[in-house]
Amino acid sequence: MAQSAKVTLWDHFSELPRPASFKNSVDISNSLFSWSNSSDPCSKSWIGVTCDDENRVTQLVLQDLDLTGSIQTLTQLNHLRLLSLKNNNLSLSSEVSLSSWQNMKLLYLSNNQFTGNFPTGISQLHRLRRLDLSRNRFSGEIPVTQLLQLPHLLTLRLEDNSFTGSLPPARPADFLNLMDFNVSRNNLSGEIPEPFNSFPVSSFTGNKNLCGKPLPNKCFNQTAQSDPYPIRVPPEPKHNKLSRKTILAIAITDVSLVILMMFVILILCQRRRKQRNQNRRRERQKSSSSGYEIGFVGNKVREKEDEEMVLFEGCLGFGVDDLLKSSAEMLGKGSVGTTYKVMMDNGDLVVVKRARERKKKKEIDGLLRDIGGLRHRNLVSLRAYYGSRDELLLIYDFLPNGSLHSLLHGNRGPGRTPLDWTTRLKFAAGAAEGLAFLHTANKSKLSHGHLTSSNIVIDQEGNACISDVALHQLFLTSTPSNSGYKAPELMHSSNTYRMFSQKCDVYSFGVILLEILTGKMAFCEGETSLVKWVQCVVREEWTSEVFDIELLRDKDMEEDMVALLQIALLCLAQIPGDRPKMSIVYKMIEDVKTKGCRRGIYSPSLNDISIDSSASNLSDDTAPTFTSC
């Protein structure tokens, strides 16, 4: 059967593999227990398994699971693009070829029990970018000639094995794209070829018979047998000492030549860059089925009369063809449309949202430019968008640490890492700051419109960032918000778009604060509203049930939790005018963070908490003073 072409973002707009046999042969500790919950690996319940729209397994991430046995069964999954089996006890027979993985891009097999020669069939993986075979027991020679057939290879990690022989000579251009290379702690010998001597010393240490740059030991003592290209040092000729003037003249001449060469190289690089850009433009024009003519106008890429791609601050330049031809993975479908994680050809990761029904293009251009101009550490930045008569693609930063919803509610069984109080309070303050900034930016005309814990994502530094900002204003009708977050004034309206206000955002944020405090979803057991459940608990009798059981170990923080609960209930006032502005909410949460109940700033008694969520005496410009302070 012929192999399918690269799965791109365009392809997203099936075979059903059966990896269950893999579990039966390697999962002696039942780490893959979730695979028994469904016979369908693409049901999203299988840990570590990701499928495409056609129910084909494209990613397997099974790290640190104490898996033991052969991975031969996985070679049948010929649509795999990512396979990570790090830190297990897996093996593979030397007779088995990996040539069926012709779609593979990222292959991580480090720290297992693989033995024998270098895996066969690697040369057939022409799309491979990352290859990590480190910390195994491979032996034999490294097949450099086969690796030369991998034009996109960026990473080659082979350290901590038992490879022997030398690194065969290669031309400098052969491994031009290689960025990460390591063969340390093997049994290699001979001189390090020129294409590899630009890597650091740490890439070669632990091979006692290896010599040459960048290692300090030179190859003078290598025999003709161990080194096919021995270095012969001619006898030093006898000559008279040069005068100082002669030495100075030679030095000046050398420096002048170096400067001249650098100037020539700079000119050649500029010409080459210019030629490369011209070639890219020609390729885009040829590859475009509709014959676009692309030219840059300010911060936008013009294509056809009704089509354009607009780039904002911080966006590395690319065209719509670059975007549509990049590898893509569907993350999910929501009220806005379908969301994809896209890896650009330069290795950058972005999130692309493909919007559904929306207003006319001219009506949304101004709003998208307002959204694209927002820059705050607690907002996910819109980096670019592509709009046409029938299509709207929104390009955002990719944040890898998941959403607040997944951190609060995901994997509530054994093995879960609890989310401590300090971290939860930091997320609450960060989200409040981001929403307060949104409400005051662009003359206060923006609101989020669909604020949920799923739309609060965590960046690399652990900051809470609000995503999908103001997208509800792009659509002909309001986005169907989860009613668990919906303000009372929107519940029975046929056109919530016209009634939506920033006060509705404040209500949704109050629900998120309850999620942080209780660990429960916006709808509790039996489809009970979380807001009503909390109000009922407070009205009947105060018990520890209102707070998440994971917070019980932070018993000395209970007064801070009570203070945050009171702030949440102020946000949940039934009448919109009774809810505080987000700038006030942020200040109150910061007071809990920086001063704390334990130091007497807030000391609310349990009876002070309003069970009907009313705060009619609260000014929009001043924070409340609790009666017990």
pLDDT of 186 higher than 70: yes
Taking residues 293-297, what's their average pLDDT? 30
pLDDT of 618 higher than 50: no
Pick the CATH number of 402-598 from 1.10.10.10, 3.90.1150.10, 3.40.50.2000, 1.10.510.10: 1.10.510.10
Q: How would DSSP label each residue in 337-348?
A: EEEEEEE-TTS-
SS3 content of the chain, % helix, strand, coil (to 5): 35, 15, 50
Per-residue pLDDT, 310: 83
CA-CA distance, 144 to 165, in Å (whole number)? 11
**Which residue matches tokens 């103001």?**
470
- Reported as type and span, the H/E element at residue 387 is strand 382-387
pLDDT tens across 139-153, in order?
A: 999 888 888 888 888
Segment of 231-235, 311-315, 557-561, 572-576 carrying the highest mean pLDDT: 572-576
Least trusted range by pLDDT, from 195-199, 437-441, 574-578, 602-606? 602-606
Taking residues 70-91, what's their average pLDDT? 89
CA-CA distance, 397 to 350, in Å (whole number)? 5
pLDDT > 70 fraction of the chain, expressed in percent and rounded: 74
Distances (CA, A) of 366 to 212, 372, 474: 60, 10, 11
pLDDT of 526 higher than 70: no
Taking residues 312-320, what's their average pLDDT? 70
Q: Model confidence at 452, in pLDDT bands (50, 70, 90)?
A: very high
Per-residue pLDDT, 418: 82
Taking residues 570-592, what's their average pLDDT? 93
Per-residue pLDDT, 511: 95
pLDDT tens across 21-47, in order?
A: 778 888 888 888 888 777 778 877 788
User: What's the whole-number average pLDDT of the chain?
Assistant: 77
Per-residue pLDDT, 19: 54
Taking residues 296-315, what's their average pLDDT? 57
- Burial state string for 204-233 with b = 16 or more CB within 10 A and e = fewer than 16: beebeebbbbebeeebeebeeeebeeeeee
More confident residue, 441 or 623: 441
Taking residues 91-113, what's their average pLDDT? 88
- H-helix segments, 441-557: 496-499, 502-518, 530-540
**Which residue matches tokens 């002696």?**
28
Per-residue pLDDT, 360: 66
More confident residue, 550 or 67: 67
CA-CA distance, 408 to 423, in Å (whole number)? 11
Architecture of domain 18-32+40-213: Alpha-Beta Horseshoe (3.80)
More confident residue, 492 or 46: 46
Distances (CA, A) of 518 to 534, 561, 565, 605: 9, 10, 10, 19
Q: Model confidence at 325, in pLDDT bands (50, 70, 90)?
A: confident
Per-residue pLDDT, 167: 83
pLDDT tens across 228-243, in order?
A: 444 444 444 444 556 7
Contact between 61 and 40 under an 8 Å Cβ cutoff? The reply is no
Segment of 433-437, 480-484, 486-490, 555-559 carrying the highest mean pLDDT: 433-437
CA-CA distance, 330 to 122, in Å (whole number)? 27
What are the phi and psi torsion angles at 552 (to 5°)?
A: -65, -30
pLDDT of 515 higher than 90: yes
Q: Model confidence at 97, in pLDDT bands (50, 70, 90)?
A: confident
Segment of 55-69, 385-399, 606-620 carrying the highest mean pLDDT: 55-69
CA-CA distance, 192 to 166, in Å (whole number)? 8
Q: Model confidence at 314, in pLDDT bands (50, 70, 90)?
A: low
What are the phi and psi torsion angles at 283 (to 5°)?
A: -65, -40
CA-CA distance, 271 to 159, in Å (whole number)? 39
Contact partners, residue 182, CB within 8 Å, separation at least 6: 134, 156, 157, 158, 159, 199, 202, 203
Q: Model confidence at 373, in pLDDT bands (50, 70, 90)?
A: confident
For CATH 3.80.10.10, the residue range(s) in the chain are 18-32+40-213
More confident residue, 499 or 452: 452
Least trusted range by pLDDT, from 207-216, 481-490, 520-529, 531-540? 520-529
Strand, helix or coil at 89?
Answer: strand
Provide long-range contacts, Cβ within 8 A and 24+ apart, for 66-69: 66/28, 66/29, 66/31, 67/26, 67/27, 67/31, 67/32, 68/26, 68/28, 69/25, 69/26, 69/28
pLDDT of 336 higher than 60: yes
For CATH 1.10.510.10, the residue range(s) in the chain are 402-598
Residue from 85, 80, 73 nearest 105 by CA: 80
Per-residue pLDDT, 238: 47
Taking residues 244-269, what's their average pLDDT? 84
Per-residue pLDDT, 480: 47
CA-CA distance, 79 to 46, in Å (whole number)? 17
CA-CA distance, 412 to 418, in Å (whole number)? 9
| Mode of pairing for the β-strands spanning 137-141 and 162-165 | parallel
Segment of 119-133, 164-178, 541-555 carrying the highest mean pLDDT: 119-133
CA-CA distance, 625 to 604, in Å (whole number)? 10
Least trusted range by pLDDT, from 391-400, 538-547, 561-570? 538-547
Question: What is the pTM assigned to this prediction?
Answer: 0.51
More confident residue, 17 or 521: 521
415: alpha, beta or left? (left if phi > 0; alpha if psi -120 to 50): left
CA-CA distance, 387 to 307, in Å (whole number)? 6
Sign (positive or negative) of CA dihedral 208, 210, 212, 215: negative
Taking residues 520-544, what's their average pLDDT? 72
Q: Model confidence at 542, in pLDDT bands (50, 70, 90)?
A: low
Specify the DSSP class assigned to residue 119: P
Per-residue pLDDT, 424: 93
| Mode of pairing for the β-strands spanning 337-343 and 349-355 | antiparallel
Sign (positive or negative) of CA dihedral 414, 421, 583, 381: negative
Per-residue pLDDT, 623: 44
Taking residues 609-614, what's their average pLDDT? 38
**Which residue matches tokens 């502005």?**
581
Distances (CA, A) of 354 to 323, 332, 475: 12, 11, 13
